[in-house]
Amino acid sequence: MTADFGHAGPADEPTGPPIGGLPASLAETLRYGPFHRALRDAIAHRGLSLARLRAHIEQLGVQVGQSTLSYWQRGLRHPEVPRAIPTVRALETVLKLPPDSLIALIGPRQPPHAQRPSPAGFAELASAWADTAPLLAEFDAIPESSRSNADLEMLSVHDAILIGGRHEQRAVTTRLVVRALRGGPDRYLAVHQGDEGCRIDEATIRPGEGCRQGRLRRQAASRGMAVELLFDRRLAEGEEHVFSYTVVDETGGPTPGHHRTFRDPCPSYLVQMGFHRRALPARCTKQFRSGLLATPVDVDELVCGLGGVVSAYFSDVGPGTAGVSVEWS
Strand runs labelled E in 122-275: 152-163, 169-180, 187-193, 204-207, 212-219, 224-230, 240-248, 257-262, 266-274
Give the three-state DSSP class for 63: coil
Q: Tell me the residue length of the chain.
A: 329
Its CATH class, for the domain covering 122-327, is: mainly beta
Q: How far apart are CA 259 and CA 241, in angstroms?
A: 23
**Cα dist from 194 to 151, 171, 208, 286, whole Å:** 27, 10, 20, 20
The burial class, CB within 10 Å (0-12 / 13-18 / 19+), for 189 is buried
Confidence check: pLDDT of 317 > 90: no
pLDDT in tens, 279-315: 999 999 999 887 666 777 768 899 997 789 999 999 8
- Who has greater pLDDT, 296 or 170? 170
Nearest Cα residue to 266 out of 144, 164, 169, 177: 177
Specify the amino acid at residue 278.
R
Sequence spans of domains, the chain:
19-109, 122-327
Confidence class for position 3, pLDDT limits 50, 70, 90? very low
Specify the amino acid at residue 206.
R
pLDDT in tens, 239-266: 999 999 999 998 999 999 999 988 888 8
> Is CATH 1.10.260 the classification given to domain 19-109?
yes
Q: What is the pTM of this model?
A: 0.62
pLDDT in tens, 77-135: 788 877 888 999 999 999 999 988 898 888 654 444 444 443 444 433 343 444 455 55
- What residues are paired with 160 via a beta bridge? 173, 272
Give the three-state DSSP class for 308: coil
